[in-house]
Amino acid sequence: MINILVFRTTKIGDIIGSGFQEVTTNNWICGSGYYFTGNDVQTRSSSANGEIAKVRKGSLVTVAVSLYEEADIFTLELPLFYPQRDFDLVNLQFVDGFNPKWNYNKAIESLVVLDFSKNQLPLPLPNGKIFEFKLQAKDDLKNISQLLHWSTDRNVEITGLNENILEPDLKIEITDVQPPDLYVEVRFDEEVQEAYVESPKDQQVIIQMVNDQGFVINKEIQMLSRGANHIPLNNNLTPGIYIVQVLNDKQSTWSKMVIQ
Q: Does the fold of domain 183-259 match that of domain 4-178?
A: yes
Q: Which residue has the higher pLDDT, 100 or 25?
A: 100
Residues 89 and 4: their CA atoms lie apart, in Å, by 30
183-259 under CATH 2.60.420.10, yes or no? no
Confidence (pLDDT) at 99: 92
Confidence (pLDDT) at 11: 52
| Closest of 175, 216, 220 to residue 195, by C-alpha | 220
- pLDDT tens for 107-128 read 899 999 999 988 889 999 999 9
Residue 9 in this model has a pLDDT that exceeds 70: no
Give me the residues paired with residue 149 across strands: 81
Residues 129 and 170: their CA atoms lie apart, in Å, by 10
- pLDDT tens for 184-208 read 999 887 778 899 999 999 999 999 9
Helix (H) or strand (E) segment spanning residue 199: strand 193-199
| Closest of 114, 97, 119 to residue 159, by C-alpha | 114
**Which of helix, strand or coil describes residue 144?**
helix
**Structure letter (DSSP) for residue 16:** S
| Closest of 102, 130, 106 to residue 115, by C-alpha | 102
For the ranges 29-33, 108-112, 162-166, which has the lowest average pLDDT?
Answer: 29-33
4-178 under CATH 2.60.40.680, yes or no? yes
Q: How many CA atoms lie within 13 A of 142 on its CB side?
A: 0
Its sign, for the CA torsion 51, 48, 128, 73, is: positive
> Is the whole model's pTM more than 0.85, yes or no?
no
Q: Which string of b and e fits 215-231 if b means at least 16 CB within 10 Å?
A: eeeeeeeeebebbbbeb
What value does the mean pLDDT of the chain take? 82
Do residues 253 and 203 lie in contact, with contact meaning Cβ atoms separated by under 8 Å? no
- pLDDT tens for 231-254 read 998 878 889 999 999 999 899 999
Residues 82 and 51: their CA atoms lie apart, in Å, by 18
Confidence (pLDDT) at 19: 59
Do residues 253 and 184 lie in contact, with contact meaning Cβ atoms separated by under 8 Å? yes
Residue 26 in this model has a pLDDT that exceeds 80: no
- pLDDT tens for 121-155 read 999 999 999 999 999 999 999 888 889 999 988 88
Band (pLDDT 50/70/90 cuts) for residue 78 is very high
The residue extents of the domains of the chain are 4-178, 183-259
Its sign, for the CA torsion 101, 106, 111, 115, is: negative
